A and B are shown apart, each in its own frame.
Chain A
Amino acid sequence: MSTATIALRDEVIRLDQTESREARRARLSSGGLMAGIGLVLLVLAFRTKGEARYALSGYFDAVQLPTFSLPGLPTVLVCGLITLAVGAGFLGGRLNPRLRAGAATLAGIAVMLGLVTWAASGVGLPFQISNQLAGTIALATPLVLGTLGGVLCENSGVVNVAIEGQFLVAAFTAATVGSVTKSIPMALVAAVIAGVLMAAMLAVFAIRYIVDQVVLGVVLNLFASGLTGFIFDQLVQPNSSQLNSAPIMQAIPIPLLSSIPLLGPVLFNQTILVYLAILSVFLVAFLLYRTRWGLRVRSVGEHPEAADTVGISVRAVRWQAVLLGGVFAGLGGAFFTIGSTGAFNKDITVGNGFIALAALIMGRWHPVRAALMAVFFGFVTQLATQLQSLSTPMPSQFLLMLPYIATVIAVAGLIGRSRGPAADGVPYTK
């Protein structure tokens, strides 16, 4: 046979392309969603009165930036039209695929701006942008740490539904140890140990005893809630002055950087946990993609047999990844007590562990993307709080639903089906 056949085999066959079914579905659903929201904004525009004021600085900031105003009706109208146009562009398929990401971002910003302008119009108080940013960071910190714990765990092939439980036990431990020792470092170390112990329970049942990992995660969450609730009722509550009054982490301003207007205090005048969370994103990304250990973690999460045949102990690597994940989840949990009020309360983590899990999936199991998703959730949650304080026409129950609605929309429409590690949740037995 001719040499031509040899040459043919090396090249990847390229065919004429039409749109894939999945891409089409994602395009149509996100287009429909945007068009729908655009229409809602258009309706809202004609019910918008007066103007919306935006404050760039908090009341007590050293440098006061100006407060500016946007006219209500025109702004909401334009935002609605932009969203509608992008939605129509998606639906009609006329939009150049390369421009789609940019257009979707534009529509996203338009939706936010339109919504906030509508809500803040005709209200006496200005919308505090600095508050919005600071709140986003605060809310995102535990989410980022939790999602990183999940990233490590799930990249090794162990599904972690128990981030919530890890948070809860770590939050409790940080509060009690902090109260007894009056030391932030001790409380942090205790929280990490608690997170690792919870991770060890996950590991021993998932890896050693091959329990269904989703069921196991649910059980661990219930266990964490029951255990902390019980001890809290029996022991901590009656002695709350000794056992439930931990010191609170203080913000550590970074010289120079923290005095940048607007962004300075938001990013560079934060507690040690916030800095740790930011560093952890890069640390986990480095570990997973640049080190021998990370290569092995990803290989046992994708194709454990392949790892086994080159002499890698699948179970050992999974144990390591799950336990290290517990470290980050423990740090995240500490934020709920010593990072905020210093006191523990029953089920203080209120579902944040599940939001971290959602961020993990939406971030497609990648540390940086997952962390960005966590920040997005923090942003939406803070937006809901801010709008509530403006006494907007929206019912507060609806506002509380906002982060979760955003989750569903983002998962269903904008992200589409995402593929995780191939052996995620599959126990390895020889």
Chain B
Amino acid sequence: MTNDTSGLRLRGITKRFGTFTANDAVDLDVVPGEIHCLLGENGAGKSTLMNVLYGLYQPDGGQILIEGVPQKFTNPKQAMAAGIGMVHQHFMLVEPFTVAENMMLGNEGGFVLDKNAARAKVRELAERYKMPVEPDAVIEELPVGVQQRVEILKALANDAKYLIFDEPTAVLTPQEIDELMAVMQVLRDEGKAIVFITHKLREVRAIADRITVMRRGKIVGHAEPGTSEADLAELMVGRAVDLRIAKSAPAAQDVRLQVRDLKVANAAGGIVVDGVSFDVRGGEILCVAGVQGNGQSELADALIGNIPPLSGTLTLDGVDITRARPAATIGAGMGFVPEDREDDGFVGTFSVAENLVLNRVTQAPFSRGVALDLGAIAANAEKLKDEFDIRTQAVSSPISSLSGGNKQKVILARELSRDLSLLVASQPTRGVDVGAIEFLHRRIVEERDKGTAVLLVSTELDEVEALADRVLVMYRGKVVGVVGPDTPRDVMGLMMAGASHEEAVRAAAEQPTPLVEQVHEAAVHHTEASEGQEGNR
């Protein structure tokens, strides 16, 4: 085996959808024992390339070579047989099934299911790769991080040599990301060849052995693992990007939002916000940080009036809004950027212009009597399109045709085009390109500088660091503490796991080793041990 043919090689892969070229003569080498990062913005063609590799799409040109042998995959089964495993961004797990059932699907053995054999197989894999999962746990009841563990084990189940991780961190919490990184390193050290697709620069720098950057369907460059985030961002976006927007110290003003002893239950009846109290002043950004699912979403929903609180009070500019419905809270000057953009942020089939006035459509100047003033709606849209740099062919195009970043710009433009007393923004940059993040962040800071109180809910520590004037950490529905934005990351991480500020500071001082390395070391020992056993056989 010469160095030229080892591993998995893509040569000149081209994939077109109609007139649109998603992949244009792409070359990529994936070598055992290496983590190869494929970096690029949403829509750069990364996922298309991997779907070609996995047999989900047929390429219009180019070749896939494994150990020098040309391959042709017309379905995923063939790709799997050739040793390719994929960890999908949207997990390919059947939610009401158990872990064991998901693992055996497609490879069940005899006609009558042998669930004991399936359980044993799960335990064996979990043991081998040190990824504990309970074979009888039902997927939909598991935290996302554990679900992903199952997805990884599934990819490993038939001894995949080449593993594709398609944006695996998009749905994970910071701790889960650390853990995933450790797992990926273990797999690399076992000799797996790994493709890691992402647009998050920090992760690339943390783990990549090799970096390839894609833009608009083409490979635009390779980079060394040590390349700075700013350089990587420039390569990815095609222009210089401010990763950390300039922000002045907050001008202290009066309290605008007052939250006292708030208790909120989720749809299933769990008390997810439990006695939360805090204030947000005008001209400051209060970040609510925490691992996903610790009550932040319900807190935001209670503020806008989607969920009536069980108890407690909410006061905005001295007016009680505890039981106000969304129409009333919007009327009181609350702007709201929902966490789930696609479901709650806009009406997909409506035009950009219509979505831009969605919560003001009954008011002047957009309607007169029962009739809409289409001219005013269009003029408003043109103005905001320029102001917010919304990239769309026309404001009359349906919003569903826009990219994630531009959809989010529409939502933010709609909210910021009113006079606000409070802006509640949940995960405003989730799944948004680096270029658009910069813009969205700048607009949020500008709104703060106008004297608006801003409550930002984020699970991304990068975002918290970049924007927050104060950080409120939530854990299991309770406030763990309120700290400054300059709090070290590991302290913040521990607080997000429930430790008080003092405990977190102490623990971080005692144990400075990042989680990644700890797990890594443990796993390396394990690998050596298992290799020893094989030698004895």
Contact = CB atoms under 8 A, between A and B. Distances in A.
Contacts of B106: 296, 307, 310-312
Contact of A295 (B56, B75, B104, B268): B104
Interface string B299-324: 00000000000100000000000000
Contacts of B515: 1, 5-6
A1 B112 contact: no
Given A10-B132, A311-B75, A430-B56, A303 B93 contact: yes
Contacts of A430: 56
Interface in B265-296: 265-272, 274, 293-294
B142 interface: yes
B120 interface: no
A311 B76 contact: yes
A311 B56 CA distance: 11
A6 B476 contact: no
B209 to A, nearest CB: 24
A403 B265 CA distance: 38
A308 B178 CA distance: 30
Interface string B164-208: 000000000001101100000000000000000000000000000
A241 B146 CA distance: 68
A292 interface: yes
Given A1-B490, A302-B94, A309-B88, A15 B105 contact: no
Nearest to B295: A15
A105 interface: no
Contacts of B265: 18, 20-21
Given A17-B271, A293-B111, A430-B56, A305 B92 contact: yes
B143 interface: yes
Interface string A2-20: 1111101110110111111
Contacts of A312: 105-106
Contacts of A308: 76
Nearest to B518: A3
Interface in B481-513: 490, 493-494, 497-499, 507-508, 511
Contacts of A306: 91-94, 102, 105
A311 B80 contact: yes
A298 interface: yes
Chain B facing A: main interface SS: loop
A290 B113 contact: yes
B94 A291 contact: no
A2 to B, nearest CB: 5
Interface in A98-132: none
A259 B499 CA distance: 71
A310 B274 contact: no
A299 B92 CA distance: 10
Given A9-B145, A15-B477, A17-B271, A2 B507 contact: yes
B198 to A, nearest CB: 21
A359 to B, nearest CB: 21
A23 interface: yes
Contacts of A6: 179, 515, 519
A4 B91 CA distance: 27
B162 to A, nearest CB: 15
Interface residues of B, number: 65
Contacts of B95: 302-303, 422
B29 interface: no
B494 to A, nearest CB: 6
Nearest to B268: A20
A291 B106 CA distance: 12
B238 interface: no
Contacts of A10: 132, 143, 146
Best-buried of A12, A298, A306, A307 by chain B (most CB within 10 Å): A306
A295 B113 contact: yes
Nearest to A306: B92
Nearest to B142: A12
Contact of A309 (B86, B113, B272): B86
Given A1-B511, A5-B515, A291 B113 contact: yes
Contacts, number: 141
Nearest to B114: A292
Given A17-B271, A18-B265, A307-B106, A299 B175 contact: no
B497 A18 contact: no
B76 A15 contact: no
Nearest to A22: B267
B267 A13 contact: no
A13 B92 contact: no
Contacts of B269: 17-21, 23
Interface string B131-143: 0100000000111
A306 B112 CA distance: 21
Interface in B121-173: 132, 141-143, 145-146
B96 interface: yes
Contacts of B2: none
Contact of A2 (B104, B109, B274, B511): B511
A307 B86 CA distance: 14
A156 to B, nearest CB: 13
A288 to B, nearest CB: 11
A295 B110 CA distance: 12
B533 interface: no
Contacts of B271: 15-18
A303 B92 contact: yes
Contact of B178 (A1, A15, A290, A303): A1
B3 interface: no
Nearest to A313: B75
A365 to B, nearest CB: 11
A13 B293 contact: yes
Interface in B77-104: 77, 80, 86, 88, 90-97, 101-102, 104
A18 B273 CA distance: 12
B108 interface: yes
Contacts of A17: 269-271
A309 B270 contact: no
A295 B100 CA distance: 12
A117 to B, nearest CB: 39
Nearest to A19: B269
Given A1-B175, A10-B146, A17-B271, A292 B108 contact: yes
Contacts of B293: 13
Nearest to B158: A310
Contacts of B105: 295-296, 299, 306-307, 310, 312
Contacts of A18: 265, 269-271, 310
A10 B126 CA distance: 14
Given A308-B76, A311-B77, 7 more contacts: A10-B143, A290-B112, A295-B105, A296-B106, A309-B76, A310-B76, A310-B92
Interface of B: 54, 56, 75-77, 80, 86, 88, 90-97, 101-102, 104-113, 132, 141-143, 145-146, 175-176, 178-179, 265-272, 274, 293-294, 310, 476-477, 490, 493-494, 497-499, 507-508, 511, 514-515, 518-519
Q: Return the 3 tightest CB-CB contacts between A and B, nearest first.
A: A310-B106, A311-B77, A20-B269
20 contacts: A1-B178, A1-B514, A2-B511, A5-B515, A8-B498, A10-B132, A15-B477, A18-B269, A22-B267, A291-B112, A291-B113, A292-B108, A292-B110, A295-B105, A303-B92, A303-B95, A305-B92, A307-B94, A309-B88, A311-B77
